[in-house]
Amino acid sequence: MSSSGFLPATPEELKQRGITQPDFVYVIGDAYVDHPSFGPAIIGRVLESHGYTVAMLSQPDWKNPESIKIYGEPRLAFLVSSGNMDSMVNHYSVSKRRRQTDAYTPGGVMGKRPDRADIVYSSLIRSVYRNTPIILGGIEASLRRLAHYDYWSDSFRRSLLLESGADLISYGMGERSVIEIADALASGISIRDLTFVNGTVYKTSRKEDIYDAIFLPDYESMKEQKELYAKSFSIQQKNADPVRGRRLAEPYSSHTFIVQNPPAKPLTREEMDEVYALPYQRAVHPACLKNGEVPAFSEVRFSLTSCRGCFGACSFCALTFHQGRIVQARSQESLLEEAKKIIKDPAFKGYIHDVGGPTADFRHPACEKQEKYGACPERQCLFPSPCPNLKADHTEYISLLRRLRALPGVKKVFIRSGIRFDYVLADPEADLFFRELCEHHVSGQLKVAPEHVSDQVLSHMGKPSRSVYESFCRKYKSMNEKLGKKQYLVPYLMSSHPGSTLKEAVELAEYCRDLGYMPEQVQDFYPTPSTLSTCMYYTGIDPRNGKPVYVPKNPHEKAMQRALIQYRDPRNRELVLEALQKSGRTDLIGSGPKALIRYTAAGAKATARPAEKKKKTIRNIHKKKTQKK
């Protein structure tokens, strides 16, 4: 594919378009992938559609100031984004070990972007262009827009706006705010006077200029008193709604304030359709591709983003803070048009890999009130139980899936971004969705995310009770039996979340034992900035009620909790044995059918249950059980 259809990504391409000075230079930590699953591509295309010129500067050499000068100084501003992922999450596992590959870099090569990319890129720009406006956007900036706990340095850090030296943060989904910023700058308004755009964060030295704002506790006080940060985070959560949200001000001294304007309004369905109809090349830019494929692109190349926003509001998920709780969805016609483009791709084999978003089966706001009055600040839509006003209805989603799979050239449509099982059960016509799901959109296994089975831990996670998940399992199994299909559930499980002691970890291990399932991978809770769970992790307080919560922080205890879920692995024997002894559950050590650790023939030493000579898959486990029956 010719590079002429892409946004300019080299000086030669800029020159070919006759552009001597671009309006914006967009510095990104990812490879430049012109696809609507990549935030920089969307923002670049939206600016272009409003008449602005954008030069994409992908993965510059942050150690060399010359790399930032290849396009010269932009007319209006530098835009900076670490990429589709937070750079620290991209680089480090939860154990803080350096990852070996970067899925957003050509060839999967690690090391093409710096740690804390927004800070480093901003400093690089400032070293060359001292007065050019710098505007941060994307997930890394969005989640660090106010003071926050940083897991990697184990410290309480200031707003990214102060740490980076940038002028403005555009947080959340930035289509509205970036155009308002661009229009203001183009009209001659100084970046210092851009204090009025919703969906932005700015800094000021004049308290008297801050109007109609809730003042949060000051940074130094929060740093000294963790309970003040828990209080601040609670206020932030209650004002993360574009309808009800108030302006927030965070003091750093008597003459330094960070001000967060209310979130930008959600896009209408028509506006969403317009954004996704822009002329994306749906490919990696050739200048990047010459260094190898971009692994993250292959994951989404044949997927459709049908919605954004999530009213599920899991405590450990950053999407609520970034995209908000009000669901916005594209029209069926928009999605069908994109599907037709996918079908024309020579590499398409007939399989649409996903139709979804943060939660696949959310296709409209939780209730009619949300569109007019916003999301309720004092209660959740699904937790601890579905709100009476919740409109649980899969009719439109089923219609969409049917139309997609009826397209010529489509063999199967998968749902990989996950369904919210408590929302499915809340639908009065749940059986209809179960039938559609099991008959047409699962291939052997369906991944779901109960995350845990202890109701105490689930309450801190903001997830439904164990009984709700088990009800879903029974209905799923029943529907597959009716259809004569052998399809199974693969549960995602998380260890060491706030609220989980060894007692709850043992309960989860017993669940895995009774299910006959040992997950090959277990996700330790990862404290990323600006989630409710991270606030609990740092403060030891649940900001929803101010009550203390147990937090497993000791690496050895976390290793025990993780080992319990994989108790069948002989390498975990000593950890499992220690965990059972410390939790007072020696009844699970022995030779009985419920034992997690078995005695050797001599009876003198406990061992883990022997690993199978051949790893069992979910399908093999259920097949064996069926044969026994």
SS3 for 83-143 is: CCCCHHHHHECCCCCECCECCCCHHHECCCCCCCHHHHHHHHHHHHCCCCCEEEECHHHHC
For residue 615, the model assigns a pLDDT of 41
For residue 2, the model assigns a pLDDT of 42
Residues 243, 245: Cα–Cα separation, whole Å: 6
Answer whether residue 610 shows pLDDT above 70: no
More confident residue, 4 or 128: 128
- From the list 319, 315, 335, 318, the residue with the least C-alpha distance to 327 is 319
For residue 417, the model assigns a pLDDT of 86
Residues 115, 111: Cα–Cα separation, whole Å: 9
- Tell me what the mean pLDDT of segment 115-135 comes to: 97
How many C-beta atoms surround the C-beta of residue 105 within 10 A? 25
For residue 629, the model assigns a pLDDT of 40
- At 71-114, the pLDDT tens digits run 999 999 999 999 999 999 999 999 999 999 999 999 999 999 99
**DSSP category for residue 217:** P
Asked whether 513 and 505 are in contact (CB, 8 A), the reply is no
Q: Do the bridges between strand 597-599 and strand 589-590 make them parallel or antiparallel, or are there none, so unpaired? A: parallel
For residue 606, the model assigns a pLDDT of 55
Which residues lie closer than 8 Å to 57 by C-beta, 6 or more apart? Answer: 9, 25, 26, 27, 28, 68, 70, 71
- Written as one letter, the residue type at 489 is L
Name the least confident of 150-154, 165-169, 369-373, 540-544: 369-373
Answer whether residue 18 shows pLDDT above 60: yes
For residue 621, the model assigns a pLDDT of 44
For residue 591, the model assigns a pLDDT of 84
Answer whether residue 601 shows pLDDT above 50: no
Hey, which CATH number is domain 3-198, 1.10.645.10, 1.20.1250.20, 3.40.50.280, 3.40.50.170? 3.40.50.280
- From the list 449, 583, 570, the residue with the least C-alpha distance to 506 is 583
Answer whether residue 604 shows pLDDT above 80: no
For residue 599, the model assigns a pLDDT of 73
Residues 88, 111: Cα–Cα separation, whole Å: 12
The angle formed by the CA atoms of residues 317, 318 and 320, to the nearest 5 degrees, is 95
pLDDT band at 565 (very low <50, low <70, confident <90, very high): very high
pLDDT band at 380 (very low <50, low <70, confident <90, very high): very high
- Written as one letter, the residue type at 192 is R
Answer whether residue 586 shows pLDDT above 50: yes
- Tell me what the mean pLDDT of segment 236-264 comes to: 95
- Tell me what the mean pLDDT of segment 401-411 comes to: 97
- Tell me what the mean pLDDT of segment 454-463 comes to: 97
Residues 385, 301: Cα–Cα separation, whole Å: 36
> Where do the domains of the chain lie?
3-198
Residues 80, 86: Cα–Cα separation, whole Å: 13
Report the share of the chain in percent with pLDDT over 70. Answer: 95
Residues 148, 161: Cα–Cα separation, whole Å: 12
Q: For all residues of the chain together, what is the average pLDDT? A: 93
For residue 406, the model assigns a pLDDT of 97
- At 57-80, the pLDDT tens digits run 999 999 999 999 999 999 999 999
Answer whether residue 578 shows pLDDT above 50: yes
For residue 114, the model assigns a pLDDT of 97
For residue 313, the model assigns a pLDDT of 86
For residue 265, the model assigns a pLDDT of 94
